[in-house]
Chain A
Amino acid sequence: MPIYINLDLQLVKKKMSLTELSERVDITMSNLSILKQGKAKAVRFSTLEAICRELECQPGDILEYKAE
């Protein structure tokens, strides 16, 4: 899929674990894992907003487009 999720990078910058992020944004670990592994087919704006709020970043820092 041409859209890549750079969640790991932002988590490292904020020194936060995936488990802690999951608790803060109230999304299950399984859903966050799906997102992190690039298996998600869609992301809700509410989810994106929550992640950006907790990681103090922009959507473009999480989502990256690379043509295949």
Chain B
Amino acid sequence: MKTLGQYSLSAFLKFIIYASWYIQLFFLVLLTVLLTISFIAKDNIQSDLTVRLTQSKPMAVTPAPTATNINNVTLKLNAGELYFTQDKSVPLVIYNLGVMWIGFAISLGITNLLRKIFDSLTDNNPFVIENAQRLRQIALLIILIAPLTFMRDLFLNWYLRQNFVIDGSVIQTHLTLDFKTVFIGLILLIIAEIFRIGTRLKEEQELTV
């Protein structure tokens, strides 16, 4: 099976990556419009948080005394999801849109870099210095996911503790850092460096008479 050039595996994957790029752009615009309309049209927002529970016994989740404008709290034990409605506010809008845009920005950034890499693969020219730089940028974006996710979880944990109680008691929350994602990013950094060395070797070989 041909892996590089026209009508190859890389050409097939390039098609998928290009499709993914346009689909992501479409959903970014669509979700931004829908969220904005939702915030403008409704007085309160239906939200859901995915929570990981350390106990499987039924428990009553209610708004905390410090909660502001939280209503209709429901915990779906099997799905690990907490549903509630909240009066809309500017910080809520900013948080939701911000999280969505940052997520899409990283995803679109990685997809765009992959598009350019696969353009060079279908041209049968993988060892160019730009590809080494793109791989490095992808690695850094992947590594960035872990601390951003950690910060989001830090905020959500605080939000849970501030606004909800389980069986009348304050919720105990835990935080973990996604080392797996960081590890993958570091491996990709090494691969980017190997690519850079390969590009240099190719250039030397081409300029050897």
Contact = CB atoms under 8 A, between A and B. Distances in A.
A44 B208 CA distance: 7
Nearest to A36: B209
Contacts of A43: 208-209
B207 interface: yes
- Chain B interface size, under 10 / 10 to 19 / 20 to 34 / 35 or more: under 10
Interface in B194-209: 203-204, 207-209
A39 B204 CA distance: 10
Contacts of B208: 40-44
- Max chain A Cβ within 10 angstroms of own Cβ: one of B203, B204, B208, B209: B209
A34 B207 CA distance: 7
A27 interface: yes
A31 B208 CA distance: 8
B207 to A, nearest CB: 4
Contacts of B203: 41
A32 interface: yes
Nearest to A43: B209
Contacts of A42: 204, 207-209
Nearest to B207: A41
Nearest to B208: A42
A12 B89 CA distance: 84
A35 interface: yes
A58 interface: no
Contact of B207 (A27, A32, A40, A47): A40
Contacts of A32: 209
Interface of B: 203-204, 207-209
17 contacts: A27-B209, A32-B209, A34-B209, A35-B209, A40-B207, A40-B209, A41-B203, A41-B207, A41-B208, A42-B204, A42-B207, A42-B208, A42-B209, A43-B208, A43-B209, A44-B208, A44-B209
Given A41-B207, A47-B209, 17 more contacts: A27-B209, A31-B209, A32-B209, A34-B207, A35-B209, A39-B207, A40-B208, A40-B209, A41-B203, A41-B204, A41-B208, A42-B204, A42-B207, A42-B209, A43-B208, A43-B209, A44-B209
